[in-house]
Structure 1
Amino acid sequence: MTNSESKNVIVYFTRTGNTQAIAELIHKKRGGDLFKIETRLPYPIDYQQQVAQNVSEQTNDVLPSLKTKIINFAQYEIVFIGIPTWNMALPQPVISFIKQYDWRGKTVIPFNTNGGYGPGTTFAQIQNLITPANLLPGLTIKGGEEINGKKLVIKDNVRLQAEQQVNDWLYQLNLPLYK
Protein backbone atom coordinates (compact mmCIF):
# COMPACT_ATOMS: atom_id res chain seq x y z
CA MET A 1 0.00 0.00 0.00
CA THR A 2 1.42 3.36 -0.86
CA ASN A 3 0.65 7.02 -0.53
CA SER A 4 3.33 9.08 -2.28
CA GLU A 5 2.59 12.23 -0.24
CA SER A 6 3.29 10.49 3.05
CA LYS A 7 6.34 11.29 5.14
CA ASN A 8 6.25 8.06 7.12
CA VAL A 9 6.81 4.49 6.09
CA ILE A 10 6.09 1.24 7.91
CA VAL A 11 8.39 -1.65 7.05
CA TYR A 12 8.12 -5.07 8.63
CA PHE A 13 9.45 -8.59 8.50
CA THR A 14 7.14 -11.44 9.44
CA ARG A 15 6.97 -15.21 9.39
CA THR A 16 3.62 -15.95 11.00
CA GLY A 17 1.76 -12.71 10.28
CA ASN A 18 1.83 -11.25 13.81
CA THR A 19 4.30 -8.48 12.98
CA GLN A 20 2.31 -7.75 9.83
CA ALA A 21 -0.86 -7.44 11.93
CA ILE A 22 0.80 -4.76 14.09
CA ALA A 23 2.16 -3.00 10.99
CA GLU A 24 -1.37 -2.87 9.59
CA LEU A 25 -2.70 -1.42 12.85
CA ILE A 26 -0.04 1.32 12.75
CA HIS A 27 -0.86 1.97 9.11
CA LYS A 28 -4.54 2.26 9.99
CA LYS A 29 -3.72 4.98 12.54
CA ARG A 30 -0.82 6.79 10.84
CA GLY A 31 -1.33 6.22 7.14
CA GLY A 32 1.84 6.25 5.08
CA ASP A 33 3.47 3.60 2.99
CA LEU A 34 3.61 -0.05 3.99
CA PHE A 35 6.38 -2.43 2.86
CA LYS A 36 7.05 -6.05 3.71
CA ILE A 37 10.72 -7.05 3.93
CA GLU A 38 11.09 -10.14 1.75
CA THR A 39 14.12 -12.27 1.01
CA ARG A 40 14.97 -13.35 -2.54
CA LEU A 41 15.16 -16.95 -1.36
CA PRO A 42 12.29 -17.88 0.95
CA TYR A 43 12.94 -19.30 4.38
CA PRO A 44 12.00 -22.94 5.01
CA ILE A 45 8.34 -23.54 5.80
CA ASP A 46 9.27 -26.02 8.52
CA TYR A 47 9.78 -24.15 11.79
CA GLN A 48 12.78 -26.18 13.02
CA GLN A 49 14.55 -25.86 9.66
CA GLN A 50 13.93 -22.11 9.69
CA VAL A 51 15.31 -21.85 13.23
CA ALA A 52 18.45 -23.75 12.21
CA GLN A 53 18.94 -21.51 9.16
CA ASN A 54 18.45 -18.39 11.27
CA VAL A 55 20.96 -19.50 13.90
CA SER A 56 23.49 -20.26 11.15
CA GLU A 57 22.91 -16.85 9.54
CA GLN A 58 23.25 -15.02 12.85
CA THR A 59 26.35 -16.99 13.89
CA ASN A 60 28.07 -16.45 10.52
CA ASP A 61 26.77 -12.89 10.00
CA VAL A 62 25.08 -13.87 6.72
CA LEU A 63 22.94 -11.11 5.27
CA PRO A 64 20.35 -12.56 2.89
CA SER A 65 19.60 -10.83 -0.38
CA LEU A 66 16.27 -9.01 -0.40
CA LYS A 67 13.47 -8.51 -2.90
CA THR A 68 12.42 -5.40 -0.96
CA LYS A 69 13.91 -2.11 -2.14
CA ILE A 70 12.40 1.28 -1.39
CA ILE A 71 13.46 3.49 -4.27
CA ASN A 72 12.32 6.79 -2.71
CA PHE A 73 13.53 6.12 0.86
CA ALA A 74 15.00 9.62 1.21
CA GLN A 75 11.49 11.17 1.23
CA TYR A 76 10.56 9.56 4.55
CA GLU A 77 11.05 11.37 7.84
CA ILE A 78 9.59 8.69 10.12
CA VAL A 79 10.39 5.01 9.65
CA PHE A 80 8.53 2.37 11.65
CA ILE A 81 10.44 -0.93 11.62
CA GLY A 82 8.53 -4.07 12.59
CA ILE A 83 10.50 -7.11 13.67
CA PRO A 84 9.86 -10.45 15.27
CA THR A 85 12.42 -11.65 17.82
CA TRP A 86 14.46 -14.49 16.34
CA ASN A 87 16.91 -16.17 18.70
CA MET A 88 16.58 -13.10 20.98
CA ALA A 89 17.93 -10.87 18.18
CA LEU A 90 17.06 -9.24 14.87
CA PRO A 91 16.36 -11.55 11.96
CA GLN A 92 19.20 -11.17 9.46
CA PRO A 93 16.85 -9.94 6.67
CA VAL A 94 16.08 -6.89 8.83
CA ILE A 95 19.79 -6.15 9.16
CA SER A 96 20.10 -6.52 5.36
CA PHE A 97 17.27 -4.00 4.98
CA ILE A 98 18.71 -1.47 7.42
CA LYS A 99 22.18 -1.61 5.86
CA GLN A 100 20.75 -0.57 2.46
CA TYR A 101 19.85 2.97 3.50
CA ASP A 102 21.18 6.26 4.81
CA TRP A 103 19.49 6.93 8.16
CA ARG A 104 20.69 10.52 8.72
CA GLY A 105 17.79 12.81 9.61
CA LYS A 106 15.33 9.96 10.14
CA THR A 107 13.21 9.21 13.18
CA VAL A 108 13.04 5.45 13.64
CA ILE A 109 10.33 3.77 15.67
CA PRO A 110 10.68 0.02 16.19
CA PHE A 111 7.92 -2.41 17.05
CA ASN A 112 8.36 -6.04 17.96
CA THR A 113 6.37 -9.22 18.24
CA ASN A 114 7.72 -12.22 20.09
CA GLY A 115 6.76 -15.58 21.53
CA GLY A 116 6.72 -14.32 25.10
CA TYR A 117 10.42 -13.75 25.76
CA GLY A 118 10.40 -10.06 24.86
CA PRO A 119 12.33 -8.08 22.27
CA GLY A 120 15.74 -9.47 23.22
CA THR A 121 18.46 -7.29 21.70
CA THR A 122 16.37 -6.17 18.72
CA PHE A 123 15.92 -2.53 19.77
CA ALA A 124 19.58 -2.13 20.80
CA GLN A 125 20.70 -3.63 17.49
CA ILE A 126 18.49 -1.21 15.58
CA GLN A 127 19.96 1.70 17.57
CA ASN A 128 23.47 0.63 16.61
CA LEU A 129 22.60 0.13 12.94
CA ILE A 130 20.69 3.38 12.33
CA THR A 131 23.11 5.82 13.94
CA PRO A 132 22.87 8.84 13.60
CA ALA A 133 19.07 8.61 13.29
CA ASN A 134 16.81 9.42 16.23
CA LEU A 135 15.37 6.25 17.81
CA LEU A 136 12.08 6.59 19.68
CA PRO A 137 10.87 4.05 22.27
CA GLY A 138 9.64 0.84 20.73
CA LEU A 139 6.55 -1.26 21.28
CA THR A 140 6.69 -4.97 22.04
CA ILE A 141 3.67 -7.26 21.85
CA LYS A 142 3.42 -10.96 22.49
CA GLY A 143 2.61 -12.75 19.27
CA GLY A 144 2.44 -16.46 18.58
CA GLU A 145 4.41 -19.35 20.00
CA GLU A 146 5.24 -21.18 16.81
CA ILE A 147 7.24 -23.78 18.72
CA ASN A 148 3.92 -24.70 20.38
CA GLY A 149 1.94 -24.59 17.15
CA LYS A 150 0.47 -21.11 17.79
CA LYS A 151 1.17 -19.02 14.71
CA LEU A 152 -1.01 -16.00 13.93
CA VAL A 153 -2.56 -15.01 17.24
CA ILE A 154 -3.04 -11.28 16.68
CA LYS A 155 -6.56 -11.61 15.36
CA ASP A 156 -10.09 -11.25 16.71
CA ASN A 157 -10.08 -10.15 20.39
CA VAL A 158 -6.28 -10.26 20.63
CA ARG A 159 -6.12 -7.89 17.66
CA LEU A 160 -8.49 -5.49 19.43
CA GLN A 161 -6.25 -5.54 22.51
CA ALA A 162 -3.18 -5.01 20.32
CA GLU A 163 -4.90 -2.08 18.61
CA GLN A 164 -5.40 -0.41 22.00
CA GLN A 165 -1.71 -0.98 22.82
CA VAL A 166 -0.73 0.59 19.49
CA ASN A 167 -3.02 3.57 20.13
CA ASP A 168 -1.59 4.09 23.62
CA TRP A 169 1.99 3.80 22.34
CA LEU A 170 1.45 6.29 19.51
CA TYR A 171 -0.18 8.68 21.99
CA GLN A 172 2.81 8.35 24.38
CA LEU A 173 5.14 9.11 21.48
CA ASN A 174 3.05 12.23 20.79
CA LEU A 175 2.49 11.18 17.19
CA PRO A 176 -0.67 12.48 15.57
CA LEU A 177 -3.09 9.95 14.18
CA TYR A 178 -3.96 10.45 10.54
CA LYS A 179 -6.93 8.12 10.26
Structure 2
Amino acid sequence: MNNKTLIIYYSRTGNTEAVAELIQEKIDGELVQIETKEPRPADYRIEVEQNAQEQEKGSLPILKTSIPDFDRYERVFIRSPTWNMALPQAVITFLDSYDFSGKTVLPFNTHAGYGAGSTFRQIKARAEGANVLEGYTVKGGEETNGLLLAIQGKYKEKVSKEIDTWLETTKQSKK
Protein backbone atom coordinates (compact mmCIF):
# COMPACT_ATOMS: atom_id res chain seq x y z
CA MET A 1 0.00 0.00 0.00
CA ASN A 2 1.19 3.50 -0.82
CA ASN A 3 1.45 4.90 2.69
CA LYS A 4 2.08 8.43 1.43
CA THR A 5 -1.36 8.85 -0.17
CA LEU A 6 -4.54 9.73 1.72
CA ILE A 7 -7.98 9.50 0.13
CA ILE A 8 -10.35 11.42 2.36
CA TYR A 9 -14.07 11.65 1.61
CA TYR A 10 -17.40 12.83 2.95
CA SER A 11 -20.42 10.88 1.72
CA ARG A 12 -24.11 10.82 2.50
CA THR A 13 -25.63 8.35 0.03
CA GLY A 14 -22.57 6.36 -1.02
CA ASN A 15 -21.78 8.02 -4.38
CA THR A 16 -18.80 9.94 -3.06
CA GLU A 17 -17.63 6.82 -1.24
CA ALA A 18 -17.95 4.76 -4.45
CA VAL A 19 -15.69 7.17 -6.33
CA ALA A 20 -13.19 7.24 -3.45
CA GLU A 21 -13.06 3.44 -3.50
CA LEU A 22 -12.48 3.42 -7.27
CA ILE A 23 -9.54 5.78 -6.78
CA GLN A 24 -8.14 3.60 -4.01
CA GLU A 25 -8.33 0.54 -6.30
CA LYS A 26 -6.24 2.41 -8.87
CA ILE A 27 -3.58 4.09 -6.72
CA ASP A 28 -3.71 2.40 -3.31
CA GLY A 29 -3.45 4.83 -0.42
CA GLU A 30 -5.33 5.05 2.85
CA LEU A 31 -9.09 5.56 2.58
CA VAL A 32 -10.68 7.59 5.40
CA GLN A 33 -14.25 8.86 5.73
CA ILE A 34 -14.89 12.28 7.28
CA GLU A 35 -17.41 11.82 10.07
CA THR A 36 -18.86 14.41 12.41
CA LYS A 37 -18.91 13.93 16.17
CA GLU A 38 -22.65 14.60 16.27
CA PRO A 39 -24.73 12.50 13.87
CA ARG A 40 -26.09 14.40 10.88
CA PRO A 41 -29.84 14.39 10.09
CA ALA A 42 -31.05 11.30 8.23
CA ASP A 43 -33.58 13.33 6.22
CA TYR A 44 -31.93 14.90 3.17
CA ARG A 45 -33.87 18.17 3.22
CA ILE A 46 -33.18 18.69 6.93
CA GLU A 47 -29.49 17.89 6.36
CA VAL A 48 -29.19 20.39 3.51
CA GLU A 49 -31.02 23.07 5.51
CA GLN A 50 -28.77 22.47 8.53
CA ASN A 51 -25.69 22.73 6.31
CA ALA A 52 -27.02 25.94 4.70
CA GLN A 53 -27.52 27.45 8.17
CA GLU A 54 -23.99 26.40 9.14
CA GLN A 55 -22.67 28.03 5.95
CA GLU A 56 -24.54 31.29 6.66
CA LYS A 57 -23.28 31.42 10.26
CA GLY A 58 -19.80 30.19 9.40
CA SER A 59 -20.18 27.46 12.00
CA LEU A 60 -18.25 24.24 11.61
CA PRO A 61 -19.22 20.84 12.98
CA ILE A 62 -16.75 19.03 15.21
CA LEU A 63 -15.27 15.97 13.54
CA LYS A 64 -15.03 12.46 14.92
CA THR A 65 -12.42 11.75 12.23
CA SER A 66 -8.84 12.46 13.26
CA ILE A 67 -5.64 11.85 11.32
CA PRO A 68 -2.80 12.14 13.85
CA ASP A 69 -0.11 11.24 11.30
CA PHE A 70 -1.32 13.65 8.60
CA ASP A 71 2.22 14.98 8.08
CA ARG A 72 3.38 11.70 6.53
CA TYR A 73 1.06 12.05 3.53
CA GLU A 74 2.46 13.69 0.42
CA ARG A 75 -0.63 13.33 -1.75
CA VAL A 76 -4.18 13.95 -0.53
CA PHE A 77 -7.31 13.22 -2.54
CA ILE A 78 -10.25 15.17 -1.08
CA ARG A 79 -13.66 13.90 -2.08
CA SER A 80 -16.85 15.80 -1.40
CA PRO A 81 -20.41 16.20 -2.61
CA THR A 82 -21.70 19.62 -3.65
CA TRP A 83 -24.22 21.04 -1.19
CA ASN A 84 -25.73 24.46 -1.80
CA MET A 85 -23.15 24.84 -4.60
CA ALA A 86 -20.35 24.59 -2.01
CA LEU A 87 -18.47 22.18 0.23
CA PRO A 88 -20.32 20.63 3.16
CA GLN A 89 -19.21 22.34 6.35
CA ALA A 90 -17.69 19.07 7.65
CA VAL A 91 -15.19 19.20 4.77
CA ILE A 92 -14.35 22.81 5.65
CA THR A 93 -13.66 21.65 9.22
CA PHE A 94 -11.31 19.00 7.87
CA LEU A 95 -9.46 21.45 5.62
CA ASP A 96 -9.07 23.94 8.46
CA SER A 97 -7.73 21.25 10.81
CA TYR A 98 -4.54 20.30 8.96
CA ASP A 99 -1.44 21.89 7.43
CA PHE A 100 -1.37 21.18 3.69
CA SER A 101 1.96 22.92 3.02
CA GLY A 102 4.01 21.05 0.43
CA LYS A 103 1.33 18.46 -0.27
CA THR A 104 -0.25 17.63 -3.62
CA VAL A 105 -4.04 17.88 -3.35
CA LEU A 106 -6.49 16.37 -5.81
CA PRO A 107 -10.11 17.43 -5.33
CA PHE A 108 -12.91 15.26 -6.60
CA ASN A 109 -16.63 15.87 -6.40
CA THR A 110 -20.06 14.31 -6.84
CA HIS A 111 -23.15 16.36 -7.55
CA ALA A 112 -26.82 15.97 -8.43
CA GLY A 113 -26.54 17.67 -11.80
CA TYR A 114 -25.38 21.20 -11.00
CA GLY A 115 -21.64 20.58 -11.17
CA ALA A 116 -18.86 21.24 -8.71
CA GLY A 117 -20.06 24.73 -7.75
CA SER A 118 -17.37 26.45 -5.70
CA THR A 119 -16.02 23.25 -4.11
CA PHE A 120 -12.71 23.17 -6.00
CA ARG A 121 -12.07 26.89 -5.38
CA GLN A 122 -12.81 26.38 -1.67
CA ILE A 123 -10.41 23.45 -1.44
CA LYS A 124 -7.69 25.45 -3.19
CA ALA A 125 -8.23 28.44 -0.88
CA ARG A 126 -8.24 26.40 2.33
CA ALA A 127 -5.44 23.94 1.51
CA GLU A 128 -2.87 26.70 1.89
CA GLY A 129 0.61 25.93 0.66
CA ALA A 130 -0.53 22.86 -1.30
CA ASN A 131 -0.17 22.20 -5.00
CA VAL A 132 -3.87 21.77 -5.84
CA LEU A 133 -4.29 19.96 -9.14
CA GLU A 134 -7.23 19.83 -11.56
CA GLY A 135 -10.33 18.35 -9.97
CA TYR A 136 -12.66 15.59 -11.14
CA THR A 137 -16.42 15.95 -10.91
CA VAL A 138 -19.17 13.47 -11.71
CA LYS A 139 -22.93 13.31 -11.40
CA GLY A 140 -24.01 11.08 -8.56
CA GLY A 141 -27.50 10.55 -7.20
CA GLU A 142 -30.48 12.84 -7.01
CA GLU A 143 -31.72 12.32 -3.49
CA THR A 144 -34.64 14.71 -3.95
CA ASN A 145 -35.87 12.43 -6.76
CA GLY A 146 -35.30 9.23 -4.81
CA LEU A 147 -32.12 8.24 -6.67
CA LEU A 148 -29.55 7.60 -3.97
CA LEU A 149 -26.67 5.43 -5.16
CA ALA A 150 -26.19 6.15 -8.86
CA ILE A 151 -22.55 5.10 -9.21
CA GLN A 152 -23.02 1.40 -9.76
CA GLY A 153 -23.24 -1.09 -12.62
CA LYS A 154 -22.48 0.25 -16.13
CA TYR A 155 -22.35 3.84 -14.86
CA LYS A 156 -19.67 2.85 -12.33
CA GLU A 157 -17.63 1.34 -15.20
CA LYS A 158 -17.93 4.64 -17.11
CA VAL A 159 -16.87 6.62 -14.02
CA SER A 160 -13.92 4.26 -13.55
CA LYS A 161 -12.69 5.03 -17.07
CA GLU A 162 -13.12 8.77 -16.48
CA ILE A 163 -11.04 8.45 -13.30
CA ASP A 164 -8.29 6.69 -15.27
CA THR A 165 -8.22 9.65 -17.68
CA TRP A 166 -8.19 12.17 -14.81
CA LEU A 167 -5.33 10.36 -13.05
CA GLU A 168 -3.33 10.25 -16.29
CA THR A 169 -4.04 13.93 -17.04
CA THR A 170 -2.89 14.99 -13.57
CA LYS A 171 0.08 12.56 -13.74
CA GLN A 172 -1.16 10.70 -10.67
CA SER A 173 -1.55 7.20 -12.12
CA LYS A 174 -0.06 4.38 -10.12
CA LYS A 175 3.54 3.90 -11.19
Q: TM-score, normalised by structure 1?
A: 0.95
Q: How does 1:124-135 map to 2 (within 5 A)?
A: 124-135=121-132
Runs of 4+ with >2 A deviation: none
Which residue of structure 1 aligns with residue 22 of structure 2?
25
Q: Is 2:33 the partner of 1:36?
A: yes
Amino acid at match of 1:107: T
Which residue of structure 2 aligns with residue 173 of structure 1?
170
Question: Can you give the 5+ residue segments of structure 1 that lack an aligned partner in the other structure?
Answer: none
> What is the root-mean-square deviation of aligned Cα atoms in Å?
0.9
Which residue of structure 2 aligns with residue 108 of structure 1?
105
C-alpha separation between the residues in 2 aligned to 1:105 and 1:41?
Answer: 32
The Cα of 1:42 is off from its aligned counterpart by: 1.3
Question: Can you give the 5+ residue segments of structure 2 that lack an aligned partner in the other structure?
Answer: none
C-alpha separation between the residues in 2 aligned to 1:30 and 1:124?
Answer: 24
Q: How many residues align?
A: 175
Q: Is 2:142 the partner of 1:156?
A: no
The one-character-per-residue Cα deviations of 1:98-148 (angstroms, maximum 9, x if unpaired) are 111111110100000000000000000111101211100000000001111
Q: TM-score, normalised by structure 2?
A: 0.97
The one-character-per-residue Cα deviations of 1:54-113 (angstroms, maximum 9, x if unpaired) are 111111111000010111100000000000000000000000011111111101000000
C-alpha separation between the residues in 2 aligned to 1:132 and 1:105?
Answer: 6
C-alpha separation between the residues in 2 aligned to 1:176 and 1:55?
Answer: 36
- Aligned-pair identity in percent equals 49
The Cα of 1:176 is off from its aligned counterpart by: 2.8
C-alpha separation between the residues in 2 aligned to 1:31 and 1:78?
Answer: 11
Residues 51 and 176 of structure 1: CA distance in aligned 2, closer, same or farther (over 3 Å): closer
The Cα of 1:22 is off from its aligned counterpart by: 0.4
Which residue of structure 1 aligns with residue 49 of structure 2?
52
Q: Is 2:73 the partner of 1:81?
A: no
Amino acid at match of 2:37: R
